[in-house]
Structure 1
Amino acid sequence: MSRISVRGFAVASATAVTTVGAVVGVASGSTPAADDNNFEAAAADTTLLADIPAGRQAQVQTASLTQQADAQASAADATAKKSAEETARIQAAKDAESKKKSAEAKAKAERDAKKREAELAASRSSVRDASSFSAQGSYSVAEVQAMARQMMPADQFQCFSEIVSRESGWNYRAQNASSGAYGLVQALPGSKMASAGADWQTNPATQIKWGLSYMNSDRYGSPCAAWSFWQANHWY
């Protein structure tokens, strides 16, 4: 009984109706058609709806509908699972690509930083000492600036130049009449620069050497730090 489907009920019902019609025909005196034997064969292969108790019929139909619902639910679950797996795969690929780009950006930043450090190191290693310049009777502004460029790291020259431009206008013989400050960096008194060389009054390289020592001291730490202080106070 439990294996009979809804389709079986439809076939059984049709067979039952046909069979009843045939019986009625015989009772009324009609001659059965030649195909009546086919109905009997069909009836032999199919369980008549009348053979199943009325209460059991509803149970069998419900069981069939439940099986269909279960099959549909299973199919929906499989589709949902496949969709979730595909979504997870796509997200994983996006995450991997994001991590790759982040790693590449970090590696590039590190390479750039190392390159800058190498350039600064090369710049510092090429710094010339004041004693490496031959003494001259006089120096042009361009010559003094060229000397300064060679005596300090490239990244500090602009800051040094800003201070010197305002203090002396790159005149290594500049003297403040009221205070007595002297030279490129306006050392006060000018004789302080004797610690860098006895020719401090006439040699711009000696003055630059002393000025760098002053700016690089614990007071500032670098020409750029001294320039920052100068901008805030207009003296250093």
Structure 2
Amino acid sequence: MVGSQADAGQASQAAPVDDSALGVAADRVSRSTLRPAIAELQKEQKERAAALKDPRTAARQLLAERGWAGEFSCLDALWSGESGWDPRATNQSSGAYGIPQSLPATKMATAGKDWRTNPITQIRWGLGYIEASYGSPCAAQAFKQGHGWY
């Protein structure tokens, strides 16, 4: 006990720490850490605003990211026929939903919790589905022309 009291007494006599430098350093680290996250959030907000106005614009960008820039006309024909590019389009008989007409609609939840309303989320999911099932938008469009569905 005596030893711990002595240790406590020595600790209280230690020189005070100037933490203003620590605060400045921590603030710099926080800002440098947050800056990329804030930039990404701002980018996503701009993309979503543009996609709400014209989902085709977002699709062109997402196609280019996948190396499919030359396949937009196929995707446009496919999804114009499916949903008219309406993120809230619902097939009354089957329940297929959204721009890519996901069936069941809840499959798109794997792409994001905003799948019901966000065209970008729907387009990302739809492009993933097309790639996994057909290989490319033009292959999906060709399949649809031959079968009446994709």
Q: What TM-score, normalized by structure 1, do the two folds share?
A: 0.41
Is 1:226 the counterpart of 2:137 in the alignment? no
2:61 to 135, 150, 158: 150
1:64-121 per-residue CA deviation (whole Å, 9 max, x = no partner) reads: xxxxxxxxxxxxxxxxxxxxxxxxxxxxxxxxxxxxxxxxxxxxxxxxxxxxxxxxxx
Q: Do the aligned partners of 1:185 and 1:207 also contact (CA within 8 Å) in 2?
A: yes
- The CA RMSD measured in Å over matched residues stands at 1.7
Which amino acid letter does the alignment assign opposite residue 215 of structure 1? I
Residue aligned with 2:52, SS: coil
Deviating beyond 3 angstroms after TM superposition, the runs of 4 or more aligned structure 1 residues are none
SS at structure 2 position matched to 1:133: helix
1:139: which partner in 2? 52
1:36-55 residue CA offsets vs partner (Å, 9 max, x unmatched): xxxxxxxxxxxxxxxxxxxx
Give the TM-score normalised by the residue count of structure 2.
0.64
Amino acid at match of 1:151: L
Confirm or deny that 1:193 pairs with 2:108: yes
Q: Which runs of 5+ in 2 are unaligned?
A: 1-41
Letter in 2 for 1:198: K
C-alpha distance in 2 between matches for 1:220 and 1:132: 30
Residue identity matched to 1:148 = A
- Give unmatched runs, 5+ long, in structure 1: 1-130
CA distance in 2, matches of 1:199, 1:214: 17
Residues of 2 paired with 1:223 and 1:213: CA distance? 10
Structure number with greater CO (CA < 8 Å, separation at least 6) is: 2
Number of residues of Structure 1 aligned to a counterpart in Structure 2: 102
Distance 1:132 1:227 in 2: 31
Shift of 1:178: 1.8
Deviation at 1:132, TM superposition (A): 4.8
1:72 paired residue number:
none
Match of 2:99 in 1: 184
- Cα distance in 2 for residues equivalent to 1:132 and 1:201: 20
2:44, 2:148 → 1: CA distance?
31
